[in-house]
Chains A and B, each alone.
Chain A
Amino acid sequence: MSAPAPVVQVRGLTKEYGRGDAAVQALRGVDLTVAAGDFVAVMGSSGSGKSTLMNILGCLDTPTSGRYLLDGLDVGGLDEHQLSLVRNRRIGFVFQSFNLIPRTTALANVELPLAYAGVRARERRRRALAALDLVGLSERLHHRPNELSGGQQQRVAVARALVTAPAMLLADEPTGNLDSRSTAEILDIVSRLNASGRTVVVITHEDEVAARAKRVVRLVDGLVAEDRRQDAPWAVTA
C-alpha cells in the first residue's frame, strides 16, 4: 500500500510581523508535511507561532517567504478569487472564538459556505441539516448565536467547517473557551471526522486534546522542535 499524497507540504515557511526594530519573527523556517487522513496536534508555548502557522495553512494569511503546497497546489501562486475557492472547498476552519455571523440563525450560518459555493437552496438545506445533525444540534436550528451556549456555538462552527466536505479541518484552540464536558463533545466529533478519513490539524494547550491526535508537533520560537507519532487510544473507530 503506497503512502497517500500529502495534503499539506510546507517548506522553509517564515512570517515576520512589523518592520525594522519592531519586527517580530513569528515563524523562522517551518517544514511540515501532513498526510491525508492524519490527525496532528500542534502544541507550544504562548507566542511560539502556532496561530500564525495555522492562519497560513488556512489561507487566511500569507507567509513572508517559503512554499506552501495544498493538495499539491502552490497556494502562493493563486489569485484572490482562487484563494476564496480554496478556503471554501478545501479547508474547514474552526476558531477559538467561534466566529459565527451575529444575528443569524445556526442553520443560516451553516448554509453560508454552501451559498458562496453556489449550491442550490434545497440541496443546501439538506446538507446543512445533515451537518447540524452530525454535531447533535438538530434541536437548535433556528437559534441565533447569542441564544446558544459556548459549546453549542462551537458545534455550529464545526458544522459550518465540515458542511462543504473539505479535505482538511483546521482548528485553532477549538476548546480553549469551553468547559470539560463541551470539550469532550467537540473532541468526539473531531475524532469521528478523522476516523472517517478527514485530515485534522488542531492547535491546543491541553494534553487531553493532544492525546486524541496521532501525531504531536511542538513549536518553539517559530521552529518545529518536536514531531512525534503516538498511539491514539481515544480515537473512535468509524
Chain B
Amino acid sequence: MSPWEIGRFALLGLLANKIRTALTMLGVLIGVGAVILLVAVGNGSSKSVQASIENLGTNLITVSHTAGGGRFGAAGRGSDLKDLTLDDAKALADPAQAPHVKSAAPVQSTSASVVYAAQSTTVNSVVGTTPDWFPTTNHQIARGVALSAADVDNARKVVVLGSTTVENAFGPEDPIDKQVLISGIPFRVVGVLATKGGGAQDTDDTVVMPVSTLRASLAGYGSLSQIAVQATSAADTDEAQAEITAVLNSRHKITSSAQTDYRIVNQESLLSANDETNRTFTVLLGAVAAISLLVGGIGITNIMLVTVAERTREIGIRKAIGAPRGAILGQFLAESTLLSVIGGALGVAAGLCAARFTVVGIEPVVVPSSVVAAFGVSVALGLFFGGYPAARAAALRPIEALRHE
C-alpha cells in the first residue's frame, strides 16, 4: 500500500466518527491553546512591570531614610543618627561634589484627604518637593504649570495633581486654578501631571506641592522621606551611587557601614529583582499550562485507547482479509498524527488569537518557544498514545482481535 493510500484510509477512519474526532481535537486544542495563552500572559505581565519601571527612568536613584529598623539596629549609637535634610539634597545636586548626578530633589511624603465640591478622596501619596523633582523623576506636565522655585521659597499653597486624583476629585471638570481643601487647608491647583500608567499601584493618584508648604502645613520638620536622584545616564548609575555614598557619609560623619542611616536603591536593581519575581510567575503559569496540556494529553490517550479497544474487532477483520501489520499500524499512526497535528494547529491558532486580547488587565506577549513546545508535545503525545495501543492490537492473532469484546 502506498503512503498516500494509508493517509486516505486514515482520513476515512477519522471522518467515520466525526464526533469522536472533533472531541479529541478539542482536547488537544484546549491543551495547546492554554499553554500558549498562559505563558503569554505571564510574559506579558513581566513585560508590563518592566515597562512601568523603565517608565520611571532607569537612571533614577532613590536615597531613602532608614527609619525604625535602622534606628533600632543603631540603638547603641544613641542620637548620632542624622536626618536626611534639604541641604543633603542640595549637596547631591552640586556637580562639584557629585559629577555623575544630573539632578536631585528632596521628597517628603504623607497622606491626606483631598476635598473638592464636598467630594472627598484620600490620597496616599502627597509629595512635598522642589521643581527639580519633575525632571528627576521623569514627570511631565499635561496641563497648567509645574511648581516654581518661587512657590517653594514662599511656601505657597499650590499643588500639581496626578491624573487619577483629578479624575477622582474633579471628574470631567477642569481643575486648573480651582481651590481644593487638603487636610482642610485650601490649595490652588496649578497643574496636572501626564499619566504614567502601569505598575501594581496607581502612581497617578498623587498630589505634589512645595516641600516648604508641606512641612509648614501638613507634615512637620522631621527627616525627608527620600531624595530622588537622577544619574547623568543609566550607565553612570554605579558612579553616581558611589558619589552619593561619599557625600552623605561625609555629611553624616559615617565611618563604618554599620552606622549607615540611609539606603540607596536604583531602578536597575529594582528591575532585575522584578525580573526574577516575574520569571517565577511565568514559570508558575507555565507549569499550570503544562498540567493542562498533560490533562489534554491524557484525554488524547484515553480516546485513543478507547478507539483502539472499540476498533480491535475492525483490526481483526482487516487482518483476516490479509492486511499486513505495517498497513494497520500505518493507518492508526496516520490517524493519530492527523488528529494531533490538526488539533495542535487549531490550538496554536486559538492561543495566538486569544493572546491578542487583554486578559485580566494584562496584554499577553506570546513566547515563540512555548508555541513550538506545546505543539511538539501534543503531536508527540498523539503519536505515542495513538501508536502504542494500535501496535498492541496489530500484534494480536486475527481471531483474538475478532473475539475482542
Min Cβ gap B394→A in Å is 10
B17 engages A118 (CB within 8 Å): no
CB–CB B314/A101 < 8 A:
yes
Cross-interface CB contact of A84 among B5, B16, B316, B325, cutoff 8 Å: B325
- Interface residues in A72-89 by Cβ distance below 8 A to B read 80-81, 84-89
Q: Is the beta-carbon distance between B321 and A160 smaller than 8 angstroms? A: yes
A99 to B404, CA, bound (A): 13
Contact assessment for B1 and A118 in the assembled complex, using a CB-CB cutoff below 8 Å: yes
Asked if A55 is at the interface (CB within 8 A of a chain B CB), the reply is yes
State the Cβ distance, B397 to closest chain A Cβ, in Å. 6
Contact A55-B399, Cβ < 8 Å, known A103-B17, A104-B12: yes
Find the A residue at minimum CB distance from B394: A80
Q: Does A37 contact B (CB under 8 A)?
A: no
Nearest CB in chain A: distance from B241 CB, A: 75
Q: How far is the CA of A100 from the CA of B399 in the complex (A)?
A: 15
* Nearest A residue (CB) for B317: A99
Digit string of B391-405 for contact with A (CB within 8 Å is 1, else 0)?
000000111001000
Q: Within 8 Å CB of B319, what residues of A?
A: 60, 84, 87
Question: Does B172 lie at the interface of the complex (its beta carbon under 8 Å from any beta carbon of A)?
Answer: no
Cβ of A102 within 8 Å of any chain B Cβ, yes or no, is yes
Bound: A104/B318 CA distance, A: 13
- Is the beta-carbon distance between A84 and B322 smaller than 8 angstroms? yes
0/1 string, A75-119, CB within 8 A of B gives 1: 000001100111111000101000111111000100011011110
Asked whether B145 is an interface residue with its Cβ less than 8 Å from the other chain, the reply is: no
A contact residues around B321 at 8 Å (CB): 87-88, 93, 112-113, 116, 160-161
Instruction: Decide: B323 and A60 in contact? CB cutoff 8 A.
Output: no
Residues from chain B with a CB closer than 8 A to the CB of A87 are 319-322, 398
Are B318 and A112 in contact, CB atoms less than 8 angstroms apart?
yes
Report chain A residues within 8 Å CB of B399: 55, 60-61
Please report the C-alpha to C-alpha distance between residue A95 and residue B316 in the assembled complex, in whole angstroms.
Answer: 12
Answer whether residue B184 sits at the interface, using C-beta atoms and an 8 A cutoff.
no
Verify if B350 is at the interface (C-beta below 8 Å from A). no
Cα distance A132–B12 in the bound complex, in angstroms: 22
Q: Does B324 contact A (CB under 8 A)?
A: yes
A58 at the interface (CB under 8 A from B): yes
For residue B327, CB closer than 8 A to chain A, the reply is yes
CA of A117 to CA of B16, assembled, Å: 23
Cβ of A25 under 8 Å from chain B: no
For B320, the chain A residues whose CB sits under 8 A away are 58, 60, 87, 93, 99
Is the Cβ of B322 less than 8 Å from the Cβ of A99?
no
A104-B399 Cα distance, complex, nearest whole Å = 21
Q: A60-B397, A101-B314, A101-B317 are in contact. Are A117 and B402 (CB under 8 A)?
A: no
Q: Which residues of A contact B323 (CB under 8 A)?
A: 84, 88, 112, 116
* Contact (Cβ within 8 A) B322 A80: no
Chain B residues in 8 Å Cβ range of A84: 319, 322-325
User: Which A residues touch B327, using CB under 8 A?
Assistant: 116
Residue of A nearest to B17 (CB): A103
**CB of A62 within 8 Å of the partner chain:** yes
Q: Which residues of chain A from 124 to 179 have any CB-CB distance to chain B below 8 Å in the complex?
A: 160-161, 164
Taking a contact as CB atoms closer than 8 A, the residue among B318, B397, B398 that contacts A101 in the complex is B318
Neighbour of B1 across the interface among A61, A89, A102, A115, CB < 8 A = A115
Task: Name the distance in Å between A147's Cβ and chain B's nearest Cβ.
Answer: 14
- Given contacts A104-B12, A116-B327, A60 and B398 within 8 Å (CB-CB): yes
Shortest beta-carbon distance from A85 to chain B in Å: 7
Q: How far is the CA of A58 from the CA of B322 in the complex (A)?
A: 11
Among A53-72, those with CB < 8 Å from B are 55, 58-62
Expressed in whole angstroms, the Cα–Cα distance for A95 and B320 within the complex equals 10
**Given that A99-B317, A99-B402, A103-B16 are contacting pairs, would A116 and B322 also be in contact in the complex, using a CB cutoff of 8 Å?**
yes
The complex places the Cα of A60 from the Cα of B325 at a distance, in Å, of: 14
Judge whether B325 and A116 touch: CB under 8 Å.
no
Residue of A nearest to B322 (CB): A88
Top 10 nearest A-B pairs (CB, nearest first) are A88-B322, A103-B16, A87-B322, A60-B398, A61-B399, A60-B399, A84-B324, A113-B321, A116-B323, A99-B317
Q: List 14 A-B contacts (CB under 8 A).
A: A55-B399, A60-B398, A60-B399, A61-B398, A84-B323, A87-B322, A95-B402, A99-B316, A99-B320, A102-B16, A103-B16, A113-B322, A116-B323, A118-B1
